[in-house]
């Protein structure tokens, strides 16, 4: 006797559980989780409402719904996040790639429109590897180095590089920013989305972020600017003659970050807004 529900009934259950828990995106999330389990597109799910789930599919769905009711990010439950039209593996050891960070990629493209140019790219605090791997996918003659303090994050970045068949163009190294890097290497593009949330702001974050994403990737110190200070203190040694630094920043941090880099002989040459019209990316070069 098969007591498992149809897709339609399972979705009713999932939506109700998520709604009761106060999940705003309950409708979409219920669908995404079931589509993930069945390896269906959302479209296929909608036209297969009368299909009956197997015992294991139903059990797995109930488990994922329960985890989502505790505000665990949907991306951690599916393990996948799209960034700049590429798929990245994500887990609790990495910051979830955000659309805001696509501003960094778009800005690099403005400065280096020729995608055949052989760039040397350095990514500081690489996380999932989404920034450097997206750039290496675009700039097909380029090579790169991704640095992160977290060994667990680097495992994910390496997995993503293999999955995207970019592993022969990139090296991932455990390090704290530029400390102990060989400064013989000079980079044309240095990119970073460092932790930039102040201690005060950290307390106000949604539970979904605060409880499930790595503190190491969020905490920018008392004023949110510690990592910029550390990067600015050594980065110029790794910049090629005409190299550019592309930094993601938090809302309202632009003037502070400009001053930090100016003190180390680097000028901000442009600022770029994200989809919400917030200044999200600053570009620096050495002071000529």
For residue 52, the model assigns a pLDDT of 95
Interval 175-231: pLDDT, tens: 887 776 776 789 999 999 987 777 677 677 777 777 776 776 676 677 778 889 889
275 plus 168 within the same structural domain: yes
In a domain, 75, yes or no: no
In a domain, 200, yes or no: yes
45 plus 89 within the same structural domain: no
For residue 288, the model assigns a pLDDT of 72
In a domain, 212, yes or no: yes
In a domain, 222, yes or no: yes
Among residues 23, 52, 70, the one where a domain terminates is 70
Render 33-57 in DSSP notation, one character per residue: HHHHHHT--HHHHHTTTTPBPPHHH
Rounded distance, CA 173 to CA 126, Å? Answer: 10
In a domain, 2, yes or no: no
In a domain, 140, yes or no: yes
Rounded distance, CA 140 to CA 119, Å? Answer: 9
64 plus 89 within the same structural domain: no
66 plus 84 within the same structural domain: no
For residue 105, the model assigns a pLDDT of 96
In a domain, 233, yes or no: yes
Rounded distance, CA 107 to CA 113, Å? Answer: 10
107 plus 245 within the same structural domain: yes
130 plus 168 within the same structural domain: yes
55 plus 164 within the same structural domain: no
Counting residues of the chain whose pLDDT is more than 90, the rounded percentage is: 71
47 plus 16 within the same structural domain: yes
Question: What is the residue range of 65's domain?
Answer: 7-70
44 plus 99 within the same structural domain: no
Among residues 51, 70, 89, the one where a domain terminates is 70
* Average pLDDT along the chain: 90
In a domain, 23, yes or no: yes
Q: How many CA atoms are closer than 13 Å to the CA of 263, on its beta-carbon side?
A: 12
> How many structural domains does the chain have?
2
201 plus 133 within the same structural domain: yes
H or E stretch at 190: strand 187-192
Among residues 39, 70, 101, the one where a domain terminates is 70
- CATH at 276: 3.40.50.150
Render 173-225 in DSSP notation, one character per residue: EE-STTTT--TT--EEEEEE----B-HHHHHHS-HHHHTTS-GGGTB--SSS-
For residue 216, the model assigns a pLDDT of 67
Return the bridge partners of 172, or none.
146
22 plus 139 within the same structural domain: no
For residue 158, the model assigns a pLDDT of 97
How many residues are recorded in the chain? Answer: 288
85 plus 64 within the same structural domain: no
Flag residues of the chain having pLDDT under 50: 1
Rounded distance, CA 31 to CA 185, Å? Answer: 48
pTM over 0.85: yes
């Amino acid at each position: 006797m098969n007591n498992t529900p149809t897709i339609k009934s399972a979705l009713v259950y999932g939506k109700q559980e998520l709604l009761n828990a106060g999940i705003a995106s309950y409708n979409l999330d219920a669908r995404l989780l079931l589509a993930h389990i069945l390896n269906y597109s959302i479209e296929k799910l909608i036209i297969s409402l009368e299909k009956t789930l197997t015992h294991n599919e139903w059990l797995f769905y109930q488990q994922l719904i329960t985890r989502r009711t505790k505000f665990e990010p949907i991306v951690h439950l599916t393990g996948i996040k799209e960034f700049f039209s590429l798929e990245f593996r994500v887990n609790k050891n990495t910051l979830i790639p955000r659309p805001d960070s696509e501003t960094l990629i778009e800005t690099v493209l403005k400065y280096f429109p020729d995608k055949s140019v052989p760039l040397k790219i350095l990514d500081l605090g690489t996380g999932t590897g989404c920034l450097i791997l997206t750039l290496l996918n675009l700039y097909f003659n380029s090579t790169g180095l991704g640095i992160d303090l977290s060994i667990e994050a680097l495992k994910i970045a390496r997995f993503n590089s293999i999955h995207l068949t970019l592993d022969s163009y990139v090296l991932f190294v455990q390090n704290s920013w530029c400390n102990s890097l060989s400064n013989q290497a000079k980079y044309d593009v240095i990119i970073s989305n460092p932790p930039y949330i102040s201690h005060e702001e950290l307390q106000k974050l949604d539970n979904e972020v605060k409880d499930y994403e790595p503190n190491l990737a969020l905490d920018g110190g008392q004023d949110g600017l510690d990592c910029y200070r550390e990067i600015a203190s050594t980065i110029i040694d790794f910049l090629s003659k005409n190299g550019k630094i592309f930094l993601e920043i938090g809302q309202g941090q632009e003037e502070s970050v400009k001053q930090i880099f100016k003190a180390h002989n680097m000028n901000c040459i442009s600022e770029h807004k994200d989809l919400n019209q917030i200044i999200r990316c600053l570009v620096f070069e050495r002071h000529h």
